[in-house]
Structure 1
Amino acid sequence: MKKIRICPDFPGRPTITKLVILMKLTFAIILIGCLHVSANVRSQSKVSLNMQSADIKRVLIAIEKKTSFRFLYNSSLLTEQPKVTITANNEDVLSVVNRLLANTLIAYEVLNNNLVVLKKEDVIINQVAVKGRITNAAGEPLAAVSVRVKGSNAGTSTDAEGRYSIEVPNDAVLVISSVSYLTQEISVNGRAEINIILETNNAQLEQVVVIGYGTAQKRDITGSIAKVSGREVADKPNTNPLSSLQGKVSGVSIINTGLPGQEPDIRIRGTVSRSQTKPLYVVDGLFNDNINFLNPADIESIEILKDPSSLAIFGVRGANGVIIVTTKKGRTGQLTVNLNASIGIKKITDEVKMADAVQFKTLFDEQRQNEGQPPFAYYDKFTGNSNWVDLIAKKNAIVSNNNVSVSAGTEKNKFYMGVGYIKEQGLIKHEDLDKILLSINDELRVSKAIKLSFNLNGYRATPPAANDFVQAINATPIVEPFNKERGIYNRLPDQIGGPQVPNPVMLVEEKKNTDLQREYRVIGSVSGEVNFLRDFNFKSTFYLDLGFNDQRRYTPRIRVWSADLDTADWQNGYQNTQVFQKENTYSKFQQEYLLTWKKKFGDHNLTALGGFTTYFNSYTETNGRVTQFANGTPIPRDKRFWYVDNFFGDPGTRVSGVSTGGDLFGNDKPLQWEQATVSYLFRALYNYQGKYMLNASFRRDGSSEISPENRYQNFIALGAAWEMTRENFMERQTIFDYLKVKASYGVLGNQYTEIHYPYYPQLVSGSSAVFGNNVVAAYTPSYIADQNLKWEQVRSAEAGVEFAILKNRLRVEAVYYHKKTTDLLTNYPGLSGQKPGITNAGEIENKGVEASATWTDKLPNGIGYSISGNITSFKNKVLSIYQPGFEIISGASRVTAGMPIGYFYGYVVEGVYQSYADKISSPRAGFFGEYGPGDLKFKDVAGPKDANGKPTGPDGVVDDNDRTMIGNPTPDFIYGFALSADYKGFDIGIDFQGVYGNEVFRSWGNGNTFAVFNYREDRMGRWHGAGTSNWEPQVNDLRGINKQNSSYMIEDGSYLRIRNVSIGYNVPIKKEGFTRFAKSLRVFLNAQNLVTFKDNSGFSPEFGGNAIEFGVDRGSYPLPAIYSFGFNVTF
């Protein structure tokens, strides 16, 4: 008897063992860390003392020094108390306090964070009426200022004259707060009148932002850095946190796909390269290509770096912008547990409108008549009316996000751990994403000078198989999905004029659980830093990123019923079972050695940074497939057998390779590469009196991707800013509360190419050579290598202004930016039999303006509100590429000098020929074969090019020379605006987001053979006689002119979307009831992608892609509306 191997060997299998060992070590570290911090927290509730004849105050101070407890009391309460003698050996703190106060008339109350309040027993609290006036520094009255009694719900607000009155306990503390002003706490101490002057709140300016390899105050930076709090992504129903930023940040274009777990397409200030658009992600210092391994609930903040002065420090990785993500860390205090959970449903809101059965028959009959064919003779066998999109779509797809985190710490050790589980169902049935995420960090303060840190992130995911709605859009509606009489699925008509797409319902149901995918990833870092010589800090960090992915896909045999052939047969492409298996592993290692010097010389402030870093990245992929013999035993629908080297039964019926030659398995192309970078960096941040700021940065990168002659390259940047409102001559002006002008210039880099080590081409077989009389096999280079290849450079500049007016209620930032890419990495034509090579030949220009504004205020009735908005313009142009006349073509998209990158290229439609007279009087279009009334009429744009290569005017003929730009996928501008309000614990917010001035290319329902696929519903408005339509052509598959790329396929890509609506309530915490165990509790409702106002006919108006082909609507996947409910509670 042969044994079935459940997990046979396969290349890459040892990596699993390594990962299992790593996961075990990780678990051990987690356990030790938890026990360590738990022990610390518990130890804070125990104390040992031996004090003789001591004041009670001294005993309390001793307890504070040895534990996390803090005591609040009036000094007069303890002055007349007798001295005490007290000893304790690892005794509970509150037990010691009970003995300490046993013979006094002092009582106590324990509040949050181990704060103990001492007070007299049975004190009768006297009430006092307090009144006063609240003004600003100029003596002007402030209305709608909140006056609240600390620790209670009692409160009031000021009137138009800034006056208030309130009755409070004699020893109360008043909390005075107002938008744009610093909050103050004032003790009443029996006073009947208290007048208060509020100071302007410049917290936003003093905000600390994360920059490359460090932090800085926002007011001290000279560039454009946007900061988004983790709170803004934590309660949104997005499995990828970056999706929540759409429309929130100026200069950042974000396109979401709707696919479960898929990362969005992000472009910062336009497209600067033809090879790469993705920004660099830096997570707690580690360079990365995505942040799929992060749980939104574990994010502390997100910074988006856009300007050259902040990007040049990233050298060859900074050209497309940088997104820095900082995860949550432990904080000093007692153990805190946070639970954050949400659940929601996803729905399709914008459907693609296709013909139903009646409309299909009308159009198809007319088409056959136009083509001179007889009527379709099989309608009696196809009586269905199937909306295939509805049949495969999940009506209420679930998305849930559940997270729990633990935080604790002392002055010496801070610990944080978060665990999350995400489940997201797709819009197509049986699409399920499951993801488990882990985040751990521990910070150990060895001494005042030495600190050690440990970070670990990991996840395990089972992503769904790649499905889309294209088959459902294309399928003819006249077929019922399932043949109940025969117990098999129906095939779409064979006699309709060509091969049909497979039955969409059959594909979804039969392929259920046949594509098994698993992803594992572990990301960690260990760092140590030491402060020395008072002003210096040295930090060394080691990072690692290990990943393993494996996929096993089973293709079943599917038998279907062909009604028009009156027979059952195997579905095309599903005649024989097959197994595909793929495994890939990758590892990334990064090291940093950073020295920082901070010094203040009188009015001069200087922070200098120098460092050395290395980065190594390797990738290995192995895959293969196996197919049953032509008439052999099918591979079972049992995942135990879904391996390429598995076999079963008799050797004569075992599984064979892709061919029928009897091979055990056939390998697809394996892939393996390594990449390394070595870098030296320097940065200086200087300011004088907080008025004049200068920033300078330098980085020298060396990469293994580039030939030794050009391996190293330098990147520099300079930035300057002037905070004018700190000048003496601005003291008397009353317009600006804050005013800063800024400018920066820098050189950035991009090393990405489609080919690794492009200066060293691979050898390919298939050629031959002659030696004497012998002809032998030979290997030749796959392309001609350019030994002078170097990195792309992006010369970037910006100039802008930041200001605040109207008592800081209105804040505005506006920037003009200009980016010019030189030494563009681009393909050039290869010789016969060779693929294109890569060389530096081209320039791209991006420029535009971005602006953002926020108004924040509070109404007299206590309602706080905020209005914010941002807008960014884009102007993209390819200045040159390779040589005159050279173009890069990808479908309907082109890259041509003098045009926007990825513009749509084709014929301009002027209308539809209405008659033969119309045809004769129009420019001749015989280039496309037969055409006439009912066909699209193209514009005669230009004739042949002259001797200088420039197009001439119209020549009376429509041919290749008349193709031109018919659309631009890059918008004129993007925008977003938001409204929010809060009142007595309630808050509400609504976000809008939009795009204007771009076009999308509709690739579905155009040139596809009408005899094979369904029709768009608007084809009912087709031309079917003179005057019936001047846009929709006749239904006639024989007319090739209607299938050409033209403006007929172009649609308006502009849209406005209600991106997010949220309502929340912060539940009051009371000493009694269900909230008594919690520190805070918030509940919220959220609706995302509620309504989209658009003009295109597809599921969505936004479509990502690569650098040169984007904005193409393939009808693949909708962007769903998501309705969710959740809560966030802290214990």
Structure 2
Amino acid sequence: MNKISLNKSLKRGLGVFLFLFSCSFTFAQNKISGKIIDQKTKEGIPGASVRIKDTNTGAVADFEGKFSINALPNATLIVSFIGYTTKEVPVNNQSDLTIGLEESLNELEQVVVVGYGTQRKVDVTGATSSVKGEELMKQPVMTPTQAIQGKVAGVQIISSGRPGSSPNIRIRGTGTALAGTATLFVVDGVLTDDISNINTADITNIDILKDASATAIYGSRGANGVVIITTKKGVSGKMVINYNMQIGTRSATNLVKMANSTEYANYVSAASGNIIQPGEVSTDWYGQILRNAFMQNHNLSISGGSEKSKHYLSLGYLGDEGIVIKNNFKRFTARLNDDFTLHEKLTVGLATSFSNSRDQNVNLNAAYNNAYRAAPIIPSMIDGKYGNTSLHNNVGNPILDINNNDDYTVINRLQSSAYLDFKPFKFLTFRSSIGGDLNFKNARLYNYQFNNDQTTFIQAGGNQRNPNSNLKTSAETFFRWVWDNTLTYNQTFGKHTVSLMGGTTAEKYTMSNFEAFRRDVPPAKNLWYINTGNANTSTNAGDGDMWARNSYISRLNYNFNDKYLFTATMRADGSSRFPVQNRWGYFPSFGAGWVLSNEDFLKGNTIFQTLKLRASWGRVGNDRISSDGYIVTVEPNLAYPFGGGVATIGSAITQIKDPNLKWETTEEAGLGLDFSLLNGKLQGEFGFYDKRSKDLLINVKVPSVTGDKDGVVLTNAASIRNTGFEAALNWRDKINENLSYRVGGNITFNKNSVIGLNGGQPILDGGIGGSQQYTTRTDNNQPVGSFYVLQVLGVFQTDEEINAYKSSTGQVIQPSASPGDFKYQDTNGDGKIDDNDRVFAGAYQPKAYFGFNLGVTYKSFDLSVDGYGNFGNKIYNGKRAFRQGMYDNIEASMAYGRWSRGSGINNEPGGNAGNLPASTYFVESGDFIRINNIALGYNVSPDIASKLKVASIRVFVTAQNFFTFKKYSGFTPELTGDPTKAGIELNAYPTTKTLAVGLNVGF
């Protein structure tokens, strides 16, 4: 064979070899099927991406998380989805795979709800935070906001232990004085100010919008921050059933120790000059009205569906007796969420919840006030008769205060939203959603008849009596609806990604209330109706409210090469609460972000996975004022004497109102840094903000000749500024396959100040009765609700010291004082002590608040500890200040730590008759640290669960509020209330500690 023929033969042979090799490569590929699931919940992940490594070949999981792909037996699959850690999976000759993805440690890759849409957190230019629903379930609470205490920087949550109550939420400080301070909640698109009807077990995620740039899309509703709650949806696949349960006991913690009979008798004897005998009893009145209370929480959910329809159904029951006798709260909830895919371009859904709550309330004002003041030398009850405390000191018996009445409230609430998503093109989505909130509230208060005789009291006499029974009933109904329509355009052009949203939203609220009252209603419960009482004692009252908003919204998101981000929003709000000329408000915002970690100079670094710098500015409004705030009304049935002294009934205008009321507006600028480093182990954020609220509503004095009965007119005449810094750090790491841990914390520094009353009248508030008609003053260059009191300089030790305390003119400043009395500062130097000598003594708003958490997981065990606290604020001990006479009881510390001649004690006065003026003596530190929740859980092994015919079992024990470290001498450093009078403890519900066990079962 010649050389040419050999070359031809070699070429033909090589060609045949390459052809056969390529055929073998093609034919060796296998069809691989599988399912991508959440490693923790075992639920499918729709839309997860599957790609063969080093190729462009891939597939997308269906609604159940299932996929199929052709790949070589030795190929490697790369599986990814937003919010989860990307995973490489070797095929290893398998044809059926189940691939579990773990939630990403990099929180910046997770998706957050931002209002009328969602974004990756890394793309967000405003200040937002998220809390997962599974974190909320670790605590035995009624509302989800209680469970996020201390978990989010910039968010302060002040909770009461009273069953059925809702916490106060302050996001980045207080930005108003008299207008509403309530945070806006958005539950599946329904706007509301109250989420006491929401079952915590139904929540998937809570997203908190903190700055004006993020909240501006909600315009007039965003001034106090926005909390967006997303409830659980059904997932395609087989039916999944879950049952969650908690049962436990609650008891009071941090109780104030009161004087016993001996201490009380000695103190009163010294104060009055009369010898008081201790008696044979020493009654602990708080011990008489408080109890260990049983609590329980049960939740059952069913989830399932197909590619075309998904369903989620849940039922919940919460029972909380309350630590005060007769107090009891019960709530039943039901939820049904449905989603239907009618066409590949059309999806509809419905989210509906119903709640029924029953609250057996108690008169805390009378019970706690009187329990604090009642003399311990009086027995509580003997042989079915009440101890007659009023015989001794004109204070009612606290047990009778509670038992004398039956205060019962029933609330039925239906909340529902429906949506339609239509996607005519891949880049265009139209969404229409309508939501409604319907509330029926019925209340009944019955006061029993009783007399101060031998059949009722151990001793006759006193003034605690109710000669006639009476019944008060009320019925209130409110209905709120909101209708949103938006059109969203999403498109990517090379390195440019643009999202443009525009739309309208309308909202309306109506409320009506009616009350009726009669005396002499029979005591039998089946006769508690108005018509069974004395018709001659009947009184009726009723009121209502109605307002509406109409808005236009728009938002532009721009992303260049995942490096440079820009967001702009604009909302125009029209509110019926303002006169026509001021009805519309315009609320723009801008935000920019720079993802430095995607720049070439940081690519390939081994420290930062994500590093983003953001800056923003925004304007939001507040219209939460009375609907008739600008409308002059006529007051009827007024008597006017004409000639001869005969009074004639007529009507008159008794209030002057500003016809030009306008929006309160808040402008906020901020800088932030978000980062993820060390392979996602450390997540964090830093933020600075400057928030200025202007045109705030405040009362301005008007001349008496104008005829206004209050002497003031409500107008826009004040400004408030909040500046602050917030930081959050979270570290997560896995030591080995069996052991992992997490440590996190956040802190917020905030400075609040009134920066301009513009001729407005400083707000005096916080009156507690007696000689203390006010304790706070909201004024220029001070925080809202600052305590304004006399400065205590010490205690007069001798008569000579009293006479030596003189003014510059030689006048004795406190001539009526006695040794053992307080020495007050003559601030203005006029030689006397009066209200003009008051000084500012701090405010309830803290200079900083913080939270911390840690968790450890070892094999099937998990332990978590959460805590929070604040420092730099003050509390006014109003219950101590409310002593109305020398026979009121005192705290044990006052009894044995009081001044006496020769003692030299300079911080506690001698025995006194009460009625002391408002002073720094009653102002105490509000600093505290609370270990909020400790939870220890165990996940039963799958083998044992399988033998029990269930999918999963988790048991746990949790302890809430068991440890509080505080300086305040009262019950609790957490006090709810309006901004201008916050931080006054007068009849606060004591802090409760809870010990509970729980069970989670999946079927």
Shorter-chain TM-score range: 0.7 to 0.9
User: Does 1006-1015 or 677-686 show the bigger shift?
Assistant: 1006-1015
Q: CA deviation at 1:730?
A: 1.7
Partner of 1:398: 294
Q: Deviations over 1:1008-1044 (max 9, x none)?
A: 2243421111112111113341011111228x6xx11
* Residues 718 and 760 in structure 2, CA contact (< 8 A), matched pair in contact too: no
SS in 1 for 2:894: helix
Contact 1:923–1:957 (CA under 8 A) maintained in structure 2: no
1:301 corresponds in structure 2 to 205
SS, match of residue 136 in structure 2: helix
Cα distance in 1 for partners of 2:579, 2:43 equals: 59
SS in 1 for 2:429: strand
What are the superposed Cα offsets for residues 251-278 of structure 1, whole Å, 9 maximum, x if unpaired? 0011111000211111000000012222
Shift of 1:761: 2.4
What residue in structure 1 maps to residue 10 of structure 2?
none
Match of 2:369 in 1: 470
Q: Is 1:505 paired with 2:399? A: yes
- Determine whether 1:969 maps to 2:840: no
Instruction: Percent identity, please.
Output: 32
Name 1:989's counterpart in structure 2. 864
1:536-577 Cα offsets, whole Å, 9 max, x none, are 111112211111111121111224557999854696242211
Q: CA deviation at 1:199?
A: 13
Q: What's 2:144 paired with?
A: 241
Aligned to 1:151: none
Cα deviation code 1:965-1022 (max 9, x no counterpart): 0122111100111111112121111112111111100011224224342111111211
Deviations 1:773-830 (A, max 9, x none): 9985432234212111101000111101112333332222000011101101112235
Matched ranges for 1:662-741 at <5 A: 662-663=536-537, 665-667=538-540, 669-731=541-603, 733-741=605-613
Match of 1:1096 in 2: 968
Alignment of 1:158-173 (within 5 A): none
Partner of 1:765: 636
Q: 1:1029 pairs with 905, 909, 918, which one?
A: 905
- Maintained 8 Å contact 2:510/2:545: yes
Does residue 171 of structure 2 align to residue 268 of structure 1? Answer: yes
Supply the distance in 2 between the matched residues of 1:77 and 1:750 (Cα, whole angstroms).
Answer: 60
On the 8 A contact 2:362/2:402 being kept in 1, the answer is no
The match for 2:798 is 915
The yes-or-no answer on 1:426 pairing with 2:329 is no
Task: Summarize the alignment of residues 1034-1073 of structure 1 with structure 2, pairs less than 5 Å apart.
Answer: 1034-1037=910-913, 1043-1070=916-943
CA distance in 1, matches of 2:565, 2:143: 36
> Under a length normalisation based on structure 1, what TM-score does the superposition of the two structures give?
0.77
Instruction: Tell me the CA shift for residue 897 of structure 1.
Output: 1.1
Contact kept? 2:451, 2:465, Cα under 8 Å: no
Deviations 1:271-330 (CA, angstroms, capped at 9, x unpaired): 000122221000001110111111011011101110122100111110000000000011
The whole-number CA distance in structure 1 between the counterparts of 2:618 and 2:831 is: 50
In the alignment, structure 1 residue 290 sits paired with structure 2 residue 290: no
One-letter code aligned to 1:901: V
Q: Residue 102 of structure 1 corresponds to which residue in structure 2?
A: none
Per the alignment, residue 489 of structure 2 pairs with 597
Letter in 2 for 1:1004: K
Cα 1:625–1:734 shift into 2, 3 Å = same
Partner Cα distance (2:31, 2:840) in 1: 84
Superposed counterparts of 1:507-522, under 5 Å = 507-511=401-405, 514-522=406-414
TM-score normalised over the length of structure 2: 0.87
Pairwise CA RMSD:
3.0
Cα drift, residue 636 of structure 1: 2.3
Counterpart contact for 2:388–2:460, Cα < 8 Å: no
Per the alignment, do residues 304 and 927 of structure 1 end up closer, same or farther by CA in structure 2, a change over 3 Å counting?
A: farther
Provide the rounded CA distance (Å) in 2 between the counterparts of 1:788 and 1:174.
63
**Per the alignment, in what secondary structure is the counterpart of residue 611 of structure 2?**
strand
1:77 positional shift = 12
Deviation at residue 1077 of structure 1 after TM alignment: 2.0
Query: For residue 583 of structure 1, what is the aligned residue in structure 2?
Result: 475
Please, which of 1014, 1018, 1039 is the counterpart of residue 889 of structure 2?
Answer: 1014
Deviates more, 1:318-327 or 1:468-477: 468-477
- Paired with 1:769 and 1:1051, the residues of 2 have a C-alpha distance of 50
- Name 2:237's counterpart in structure 1: 333
Q: Which residue of 1 aligns with 2:984?
A: 1112
CA–CA distance in structure 2, aligned partners of residues 443 and 77 of structure 1? 32
Deviation at 1:839, TM superposition (A): 0.6
Range with greater deviation from structure 2 (553-562 or 216-225):
553-562
The change in CA–CA distance for 1:76 and 1:838 in structure 2 (over 3 A counts) is closer
* Map of 1:638 onto structure 2: 524
Structure 1 1000/226 Cα, relative in aligned 2: closer, same or farther at 3 Å? same
The 10-residue stretch of structure 1 (724-733 or 553-562) with the greater mean CA deviation from structure 2: 553-562
Give the 5 Å matches for 1:926-965.
930-941=816-827, 943=828, 954=829, 957-965=832-840
| Structure 2: gaps (5+ residues) | 1-27, 33-40, 46-53, 55-73, 95-100, 768-774
**Match for residue 385 of structure 2 among 483, 488, 500:** 488
2:534 corresponding residue in structure 1: 656
Going from structure 1 to structure 2, the CA distance change for 1:424 and 1:76 (only over 3 Å counts) comes to same
Post-superposition shift, 1:580? Answer: 0.9
Cα separation, 2, equivalents of 1:526 and 1:565: 59
Return the offset for 1:928. 6.8
Does the Cα contact within 8 Å between 2:390 and 2:463 map onto a contact in 1? no
In structure 1, what is the equivalent of residue 424 of structure 2?
532
For residues 165-200 of structure 1, the C-alpha deviation after alignment (integer angstroms, 9 at most, x for no partner) is xxxxx9999999xx996444334559xxxxxxx999
Within a 5 Å distance, the mapping from 1:612-623 to structure 2 comes to 612-623=504-515
Greater shift, 1024-1033 or 856-865, is seen at: 856-865
Relative distance call for 1:957 and 1:241 in structure 2 (3 A) is same
In structure 2, distance between residues paired with 1:451 and 1:409: 14
| Structure 2 equivalent of residue 375 of structure 1 | 275
Aligned to 2:11: none
SS of match in other structure, 2:215: helix
Partner of 2:782: 899
Structure 1 counterpart of 2:665, one-letter code: Q
Conservation of the 8 A alpha-carbon contact between 2:75 and 2:90: no
Partner Cα distance (1:1093, 1:577) in 2: 45
Maintained 8 Å contact 1:682/1:698: yes
- Partner Cα distance (2:555, 2:876) in 1: 45
**Deviation per residue, 1:884-932 (Å, 9 max, x gap):** 7644434211111111110000111111011122122224597777213
Structure 1 residues 231-240 or 805-814, which shifts more? 805-814
Query: In the alignment, is the contact (CA less than 8 A) between 1:906 and 1:966 conserved in 2?
Result: yes
Q: What is the CA-CA distance between 1:505 and the residue it aligns to?
A: 2.1
Structure 1: stretches of 5+ with no match in the other structure: 1-73, 79-110, 116-136, 138-169, 191-197, 629-634, 648-654, 944-953
Residues 465 and 570 (structure 1), Cα distance of their counterparts in 2 relative to 1, 3 Å cut:
farther
- 1:1130 Cα deviation (Å)? 1.1
Q: Would the alpha carbon gap of residues 508 and 921 (structure 1) be closer, same or farther in structure 2, given more than 3 Å must change?
A: same
